[in-house]
Structure 1
Amino acid sequence: MDTNGNNYFLFFSVISVNLLSFSANAGFSWTSPFLPKLNGHVDPEKNPIPYEISVVEESWITTMMNIGALCGPLCTGQISRKIGKKMTLVLFSIPVLFSNIILIFANTVWHFYTSRFLLGLGVGCVYCIIPAYVAEISDVPNRGKMGLSTSLINLISHISVVSIGPYVTIKTFAYLSLIPTILFIVILIPFIPESPYYFVSRNRMSEAENALKKFRQTSNVKLELIEISNSVNETKIEGSFYDIFRTRVVLKGLVVTVGLIAAQQVCGAQPLNAYQQEIFRSTSSNIPSEISVMIVGIFQFIPSILIVFIVDKVGRKILLLLSYFGLLLSLITIGIYFYFKEQNFNVDSIFWVPIASSCLFMASFKLGAGPVAWSYVGEVFPSNLQIYMSSIVTFAMFLFGIIVTFIFPIMFTYIGTAWTFWIFGVCTATSIIFIIIKVPEIRGKSFVDIQMILKK
């Protein structure tokens, strides 16, 4: 078994799977360059709808993806149990594909609602399946790196959207967005195996062995196959659905993961990302808003690459704490800037504060709050319940996302920009306390070791 990080087929498999993540997660950033076109603030001639959309219609376009994502996890668990994680991803790539096809021909607001809802279905599946699938196909020394590669792919997706989006039409960008989804389908079906854990759970041992040989690029997989079989058997939980939630391992794992996902949402990352260009437009900066968004996006490369190399050395919990302290500092700082601006102080001399604070916020998020939270989702649950628990956590994430995204513009309107950021700061401080008290360290632990930690 390769333990030196040189298993190129494993890396190729993870990248290939994350092509769907690339397509799906583009939806989170899509609103930043394209809502200004739809509401007439930027390039009104590029608006395919024959009128400027209202604030309510903006909110629905932004929120509709989260509503679709709520529906995805409701059926993902049962489907993946029957056909496996690989084919479930292929199945849910279809609504992602059709969401972009609809945008090519969109000329009413309902076309955008439908497109965003279909994209949300794919997003819900991505967050349920990909962390678990990547964790299961990766060996222990490489699991942290492979899991965090999703975050790097998502960042490239974000930068692509905010860099290309301001300069092309919605139709052109929809054509471009078809490419990664089509590549995903063409590569995954013939070349990438199903998870060995799925085959073992179905007693298809020869297929599990063949898949493992391909992922490890070696024929000596007998020992790891035995470990997978033991993991599946030892973590198997019998009983009713109610009995499962009375099991300490599952209950504690659910508290940890839902808590981390809730923390990820209540810091305000999703609405800040969705409305980033509009936020920069409201500042006194002389840097164009679309350029500011690009700068923030590119700056995130540093922590996204850094975390891949240090996650298995520093540890998950420490990275989470560093991340949330950085988020807290950035929220306090940008809140102070907008407070002075709202009090009619001259802030021209500190025009750089919003972009610097946003860089710190997004860099901190990429250092831990975003990617590390999902590594816990992929690792803390018993393998036979992984997909069900991931579905619950994903459902919770998008439920929190809908609430936070929906109230974000309302908070801006009624309590002001400064207090909006400070309230997110209070939520972030609460998250720090939760991480210190409730979140265990799982660096370098096998699935069985993690289950033993949660039993304590």
Structure 2
Amino acid sequence: MGSWLGSLMCLGGLVATPLYLFISDHYSRKCTGYLVAAPFVASWVLVITAESVAILCLARFIGGMGSGAIIVFASLYVSETAQDTVRGALGSYLTLFTNAGVLFAYILGSYVHYYTFAYIAMLLPVIYTLGMLWIPETPNYLVNREKYSEAERSLRWLRGKDERLVELELNKLIMFAKEQTDERLVELELSKLIIFAKEQTEAVSLKDMLSAAGTRRALIIGVVLAANLQFCGIFAILSYTVNIFQAAGSDLSPNSATILIGSLQLAGSYASSLLIDKAGRKILLLISNICMALCLAALGTYFFVKHQGSDVSDFGWLPVGSLSVYIIAIALGVAPITFLMVSEIFEPRVKGRAIAIIISIMWLLTFLIGKFYTNLSDVLGIYGCYWMFSVCCVLGAIFTQVSVPETKNRSLESILLELSGGRKGQNLKSVQSEISVL
């Protein structure tokens, strides 16, 4: 039952991802933002009123839906409102504030009653909903629906009193939106214009997305980064935090150990928010994966030697040190950049669906690892699992070096051009035109 309580959250996230994508595409980004709070409130109400394990399981599932919803909304909203120079920092705030919330929960949970904690937690999404009243719809969403005056008002709110910047960005968004339409019209035969107009109102199919070289490459990058995040061993590390401290001979209580880990996660996330638009995404991904690989290899070796019956009392610092560096490393690179990157590498028309596919795969992998990690550790041993995760981090570093583009301070147009191999026509728009003509 414990494994189900942990993994049901992942199933909730898996269900919520396509649902909230549909809402964001058909009822606006801001509407999606309001509805993000609903699963969280419902989940805490169930926790407060639960009288059986089944109700707690349902609460966990619905809470997972909230987690899936906020990832979809935050990824889309930040990518469509942030300037290129600060897009990375703002994108990393999802992980930063997630870790801040985790630390808050660790500290609060150590000092207050179970029900008091639940009531406080239920109040937070209510405050969030009130805050949503002040933020505007995204300019991209409004321009794509030809609501130019509303898009201008949104940009004025987002960019302040810089009239020149507002005008430049609005013109850029309008030109980019019209460019997409113009390219399709040029490539279509006159007899196919009716078919094209019909296709414009329909969702882009997965087949069309996979047929476009740039979109296909972006999907591969997104899926591999999501797999990298899950197979770097974060579930195993967080699940066995207390065991690792105990194995090292630490006298820290379980509450103190979790608060320490939460603090390290927050510190790493904060460092990432400062560095991500200066050092760049790619270098942080490489550093993160390499550091995690070394820490996991060291942890695996420590537990293997201990399993063999050798005296490791002189190396009690090794697991604690490795664990601390590991937590900072994942919060510095792999965790925040995965969510940021998938919001930066897709053209607007496919972004929502592509993000939904990648995040759904991530939730599925999280569920599988959460549900079957115990079985895997029974077969390989804890040390074997750590070594396996270390190898996955090495593979993640290699993939990053070979295939992941640097998106720091770059416009969407230049990123799409690189992903399509430098050939402007090799993207989703031209592929869709060819399909229509056929």
TM-score (norm 1): 0.83
What does residue 297 of structure 2 align with?
Answer: 332
Shift in Å at residue 271 of structure 1?
A: 4.2
Select between 363-372 and 236-245 the one with higher mean Cα deviation: 236-245
Please, which of 85, 91, 110 is the counterpart of residue 29 of structure 2? 85
**2:103 and 2:262 in contact (8 A); partners too:** yes
Q: Is the 8 A contact 1:245 1:251 kept in 2?
A: yes
In structure 2, the partner of 1:187 is: 131
Q: What's the counterpart of residue 386 of structure 1? A: 351
Aligned with 2:141 (options 198, 202, 208) = 198
| Equivalent residue, structure 1, for 2:419 | 454
Q: Secondary structure at the match of 2:91?
A: helix
AA matched with 2:220 = V
2:316 is aligned to 351
Whole-angstrom CA distance in 2 between matches of 1:93 and 1:271: 29
| Correspondences of 1:218-237 after superposition (within 5 Å) | 218=161, 219-220=163-164, 221-234=166-179
Report deviation, 1:283: 5.4
The aligned residue for residue 29 of structure 1 is: none
* Equivalent in the alignment of 1:10: none
Deviates more, 1:302-311 or 1:353-362: 302-311
Following superposition, the deviation at residue 67 of structure 1 comes to 0.6
Q: Contact (CA 8 Å) 1:70, 1:398: kept in 2 or not?
A: yes
3-state SS, counterpart of residue 262 of structure 2 = helix
**Which of 275, 286, 304 in structure 2 is aligned with 1:321?**
286
The aligned residue for residue 41 of structure 1 is none
Q: Contact between 1:235 and 1:383, CA under 8 Å: does it hold in 2?
A: no
Structure 2 residue corresponding to 1:245, chosen from 210, 221, 241: 210
TM-superposed deviation, 1:454: 0.8
The 10-residue stretch of structure 1 (349-358 or 146-155) with the greater mean CA deviation from structure 2 = 349-358
* Higher RCO structure (Cα 8 Å, ≥6 apart): 2
CA shift at 1:284, angstroms?
A: 3.8
Post-superposition offset of 1:309? 2.1
Structure ID, larger Rg: 2
Q: TM-score normalised to the size of structure 2?
A: 0.87
The number of aligned residues is: 399
Task: Kindly report which structure 2 residues correspond to 1:249-264, keeping only aligned pairs within 5 A, or say none.
Answer: 249-264=214-229
Deviation of the 1:280 alpha carbon: 4.0
Deviations 1:401-436 (A, max 9, x none): 111122212223332211111111111111112111
* Unpaired stretches in structure 2, ≥5 consecutive residues: 185-195, 422-438
- 2:259 alignment partner AA: M
> Does residue 247 of structure 2 align to residue 302 of structure 1?
no
1:286 aligns with 2:230: no
Is 1:132–1:377's contact at 8 Å kept on the other side of the alignment? no
Q: Give the letter aligned to residue 140 of structure 1.
A: D
RMSD value over aligned CA atoms?
1.9
Query: What is the match of residue 277 of structure 2?
Result: 312
Query: Which residue of 1 is the match for residue 435 of structure 2?
Result: none
Once residues 355 and 105 of structure 1 are traced to their aligned partners in structure 2, the CA distance between those partners, rounded to angstroms, is: 39
1:254-313 Cα deviation digits (max 9, x unpaired): 111111111111112134335534554565433223222222221233332222222122
- Partner residue of 1:210? 153
Unaligned runs of 5+ in 1: 1-56
1:312-368 deviation digits (Å, cap 9, x = unpaired):
221111110000001101101111221122222333333332222111111100111
Q: CA deviation at 1:235?
A: 5.2
Whole-Å separation in 1 of the counterparts to 2:237 and 2:121: 23
After TM superposition, list the pairs within 5 Å mapping 1:95-110 onto structure 2: 95-110=39-54
Q: Aligned with 2:127: secondary structure?
A: helix
